[in-house]
Amino acid sequence: MPDLHRARHIALYLPNDGEIDPTVFLDLAELRGRTFYLPVLHPVYPGRLVFSAYHDGTELRPNRFGIPEPGFSDARRPAWALDAVLFPLVGFDVQGGRLGMGGGFYDRTFAFSRLRPRLAPKLIGLAHDFQKVRELPIEPWDVPLHGVVTDKRRYRFKP
């Protein structure tokens, strides 16, 4: 993935419910000095995420949705300070629209990227190719992706 070659701080997720597993990147990129982060539900700002460092041996605890996450105090990094973020997808379209699980956590967390795109990390979705649809209904608060990597090909978008 070209967008990851220069990235030093990469957020990913632990797969849930049939999502593509991004942890395969850990072995590939960790050798090159990358630091990985997992999303953590923000305890003070409901509906937002913060990102905590993740490596083999990081203690994980299930959040209120049952998804394992590191502790809130573990080497946090704000969203704007990440270089790339790997997103889970339910669906995507060829304009960079993303359908998630419906909680809006990623959209709220990366809302700043619409106003300050130069500060935004590269937002990359991971999906099965069959999850691509012609067009998704896009709301004003939806944050578009820079690209999607599927099991068959790569898509690049201009958000």
Residues 16-75: pLDDT tens digits?
A: 888 888 887 777 655 578 899 999 998 888 889 999 999 878 899 999 888 899 987 767
Provide the CB-side half-sphere exposure for 23 (13 A, CA): 10
Q: Are 127 and 136 in contact (CB under 8 A)?
A: no
Domains of the chain by start residue, with CATH: 2-156 (3.40.50.10420)
90 close to 100: Cβ distance less than 8 angstroms? yes
Q: Is the pTM of this model over 0.85?
A: yes
